[in-house]
């Protein structure tokens, strides 16, 4: 092996530049300043750029007053947690789950209760058992589609079961859905937001994966009163979110009555599908002992090696070979030593093949497999 | 008087569209996507878009590690207060001061101590007396140039006196300086940041007044360790600020080696000077009993009417005549009933003349003056 192999990163959940529609963004920016110079350049208000808010409301079939557009969906999460979660509140999360959500909830002093994530989503019976044992979860954080880090998708039956549980127990479901548009196989499932009749759901999504991450535009959909409270928090925090960015996104998603946006998303999905398939094929070939579920969309693959694998040693051995992965332990309060997350969104097919070969070499260097 | 007069707002500290360089912004956006598509569209990091951070560091003669670029300077304030201010901490503010700063500090449970603002800035002897009486201010929030709401500017002598006081007492000066570029008469004064030898100053500014508010780009300059702490808070809050917006600002300020930016700012200052002069002339003519200091820059004029004037009644009488002002009481923990703030940044000269005539009519309707 070469002493300084070219770095290959499976670490960051971000798209490679070739699947960002830079020309479409340039054109959208030009139209934003031309079509609405006043709305694009002025302060605006905390609820976001109104034409984009209206587009989002239409998309989800809700009133505009149920939508707030924020500087990325992490900021939306932060506002939501500030509005709903007090120190000591029980919050259900998936096990494993997004590391930044764990950090954010723990820094607020939430009593975080991880519930096992299965191939078809969170173990709803586990949530039920938690409630039966006396816990009163304020919130359940759920990434329903192509979960981060696992890549799994919550089944339709479990979506309905969770909604029933939430309605019966005064629990809010935080449906955190940034990857929903990135389904490249299988049938789409309805959002819990669209199925909700009890007002139990607050929904978050983002344009990071469909437009680009640097545009930092995300949003929340929820009950009107909650959104109004969050708008107050947003006003006190930053007066208004980025109007220039939101006006650009508005032009981007509305171009050609949405046809240009559809083409941009189709291009992203095509590339992701190709990368996911190449990754799974390479893993089957190079690391037959690895267990994983082939994803139907999104950015991530969760890989488990045999029990007893030393994740820290694997991380180091991979890094020595120029390969970045994220340790399974980052997504869990405990456990996950034998697991890791691979993001295939930012790597080309040749990089994937080379990266998995090096990763297999790293695994073999640990003496885990024959 | 007409029953429904056209509304004239002296309320919001925001520029009118005619002094925003929309064409310059369009061109800067185009260059941003063309010159650095990867840096503009990717996540980036919490410290901001590196080329803009470097420009800011150069401007202030500091290392890039002393700078973090944020989603507007209000967000910078929020991070700074989160990093430095605990509940119960004594924080000195100017009296009067920006209403959002008061709100933000009070919501953190700070022990806010307003010190009188004079024509030449905060009463430094008052701060000294506070400390002599045993208070240990953690922070002093100072808007040195064309203060909001008063329009006053801190003298050079007081800048030095404040720095000495801060250094001797372990007090941080938060130099909140969004209007510094908008001086249209008189000589520029050095920032406290540039005079600071003890590391007492954290400096904030923004491109809201020189580029446009909707771009939401602000920044902090301070000691490297503090900036690193704030970068962590920023990472946890939103991963990274808006790269698209910051890349556009970077292109805007660097065009023609800065000459285009200079022209844009000169245009803003020319308009502000014309508006400030028109406002002062109209007030002298229509409301001779009004006391105010003609500003040397910025957006605001602070107007005091004779003691006993009912500010709430004046606000209502002005609103009935289609004129929006901000009550003096909004900028103070107590007092200010006979004062109000006029922003001249968003109104044309004819609007100013008509607006002041209506305002004078409103004052006369209260029976305060002959």
Which of B42, B212, B237 comes nearest A213 by C-beta?
Answer: B42
Q: Cβ A26–B25 below 8 Å, yes or no?
A: no
For B243-299, write each residue's pLDDT tens digit.
999 999 999 999 999 999 999 999 999 999 999 999 999 999 999 999 999 999 999
Confidence class of residue A1 from pLDDT cuts 50, 70 and 90? very low
Mean pLDDT of A26-51: 97
Nearest CA in chain B to A18: B38
Q: Would the pLDDT of A21 be above 50?
A: yes
% of residues, chain A, pLDDT over 70: 98
Order of strands across the sheet with A90-95?
A67-70, A218-221, A201-206, A172-176, A139-142, A90-95, A111-118, A121-122
pLDDT band at B368 (very low <50, low <70, confident <90, very high): low
pLDDT reading at B178 higher than 80: yes
How, if at all, do strands B300-304 and B339-343 pair?
antiparallel
Check if A248 contacts B (Cβ < 8 Å). Answer: yes
* Closest in A40, A100, A214 to B42, CB measured: A214
For residue A41, list chain B residues with Cβ-Cβ distance below 8 A.
17, 20, 22, 25, 212-215
Rounded to an integer, the average pLDDT of A43-53 is 97
How many percent of chain B have pLDDT more than 90? 96
Q: Which helix (H) or strand (E) holds B363?
A: helix B349-365
pLDDT tens for residues A115-149? Answer: 999 999 999 999 999 999 999 999 999 999 999 99
Summarize the confidence of residues A171-199 as an average pLDDT: 97
pLDDT band at B25; cut points 50, 70, 90: very high
Sign of CA dihedral A263, A267, A272, A273: positive
Residue B1 has pLDDT above 50, yes or no: no
* Alpha-carbon span A315 to A143, nearest angstrom: 26
Q: Closest approach of chain B CAs to the CA of A17, in angstroms? A: 6
CA distances from residue B13 to A193, B9, B160, B341 in whole angstroms, order as listed: 39, 10, 29, 10
User: What sign for the dihedral angle of Cα B324, B330, B331, B332?
Assistant: positive
- pLDDT(A318) > 70: yes
Q: What mean pLDDT comes out for the span B44-52? A: 97
B217/B76 Cα distance (integer angstroms) = 10
Nearest to A48 by CA among B214, B313, B61, B226: B214
- Can you give the pLDDT at residue A237? 92
Helix extents (H) in A156-290:
156-169, 192-195, 224-238, 243-254, 259-286
**Alpha-carbon distance B264 to nearest alpha carbon in chain A (angstroms):** 14
Contact call for B41 and A29, based on CB within 8 A: no
pLDDT over 60 at B320, yes or no: yes
Say yes or no for a CB contact (<8 Å) between B37 and A17: yes
What number does CATH give the domain A8-20+261-365?
Answer: 3.90.1150.10
User: What stretch(es) of chain A map to CATH 3.90.1150.10?
Assistant: 8-20+261-365
CB contact under 8 A, A26 and B30: yes
Question: Where does CATH 3.40.640.10 sit in chain A?
Answer: 22-258
Q: Which helix (H) or strand (E) holds A218?
A: strand A218-221
| pLDDT tens for each residue of B3-20 | 678 999 999 899 999 999
Cβ–Cβ contact B106 with A under 8 A? no
How confident is the prediction for chain A on average, in pLDDT? 96
Q: What is the pTM of this model?
A: 0.96
3-state secondary structure of B53: helix
pLDDT at B145 over 80: yes
Amino acid A17: pLDDT: 96
Domain with CATH 3.40.640.10 in chain B: 25-256
pLDDT value for B367 = 79
∠ CA A310-A312-A313, nearest 5°, is 65
Asked whether residue B370 carries a pLDDT value surpassing 80, the answer given is no
For the domain covering B25-256, report its CATH number: 3.40.640.10
From the options 3.40.50.300, 3.10.150.10, 3.40.50.720, 3.40.640.10, give the CATH code of A22-258: 3.40.640.10
Size of interface A-B (CB pairs under 8 A): 158
CB A111 within 8 A of CB A90: yes
Residues near A78 by beta carbon (within 8 Å), at least 6 away in sequence = A104, B236, B237, B238
How big is the CA angle at B30 (ends B28 and B33), to the nearest 5 degrees? 105
């Amino acid at each position: 092996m070469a002493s300084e192999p070219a770095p290959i990163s499976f670490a960051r959940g971000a798209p490679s530049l070739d699947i960002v529609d830079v020309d479409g963004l340039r054109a959208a920016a030009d139209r934003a300043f031309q079509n609405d110079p006043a709305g694009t350049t002025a302060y605006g208000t905390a609820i976001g750029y109104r034409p984009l808010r209206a587009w989002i409301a239409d998309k989800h079939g809700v009133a505009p007053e149920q939508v707030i557009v924020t500087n990325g969906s992490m900021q939306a999460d932060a506002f939501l947690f500030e509005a709903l979660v007090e120190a000591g509140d029980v919050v259900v999360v998936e096990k494993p789950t997004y590391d930044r959500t764990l950090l954010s909830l723990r820094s607020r002093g939430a009593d975080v209760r991880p519930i096992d994530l299965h191939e078809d989503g969170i173990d709803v019976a586990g949530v039920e058992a938690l409630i039966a044992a006396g816990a009163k979860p304020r919130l359940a954080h759920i990434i329903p589609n192509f979960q981060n880090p696992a890549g799994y998708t919550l089944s339709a039956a479990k979506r309905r079961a969770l909604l029933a549980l939430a309605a019966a127990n005064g629990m809010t479901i935080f449906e955190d859905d940034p990857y929903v548009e990135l389904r490249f196989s299988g049938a789409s499932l309805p959002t819990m937001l669209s199925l909700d009749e009890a007002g139990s759901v607050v929904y978050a999504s983002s344009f990071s994966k469909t437009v680009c991450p640097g545009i930092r535009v995300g949003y929340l959909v929820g009950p009107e009163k909650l959104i109004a409270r969050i708008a107050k928090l947003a006003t006190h925090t930053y007066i208004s979110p980025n109007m220039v960015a939101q006006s650009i996104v508005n032009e981007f998603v509305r171009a050609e009555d949405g046809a240009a946006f559809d083409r941009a998303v189709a291009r992203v999905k095509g590339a992701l599908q190709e990368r996911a398939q190449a990754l799974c094929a390479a893993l089957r070939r190079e690391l037959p002992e690895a267990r994983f579920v082939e994803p139907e969309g999104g950015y991530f693959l969760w890989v488990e090696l045999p029990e007893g694998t030393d994740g820290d040693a694997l991380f180091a051995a991979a890094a020595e070979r120029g390969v970045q992965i994220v340790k399974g332990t980052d997504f869990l309060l405990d456990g996950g030593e034998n697991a890791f997350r691979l993001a295939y969104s930012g790597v080309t097919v040749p990089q994937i093949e080379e990266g998995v070969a090096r990763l297999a070499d790293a695994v073999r260097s640990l003496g885990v497999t024959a």
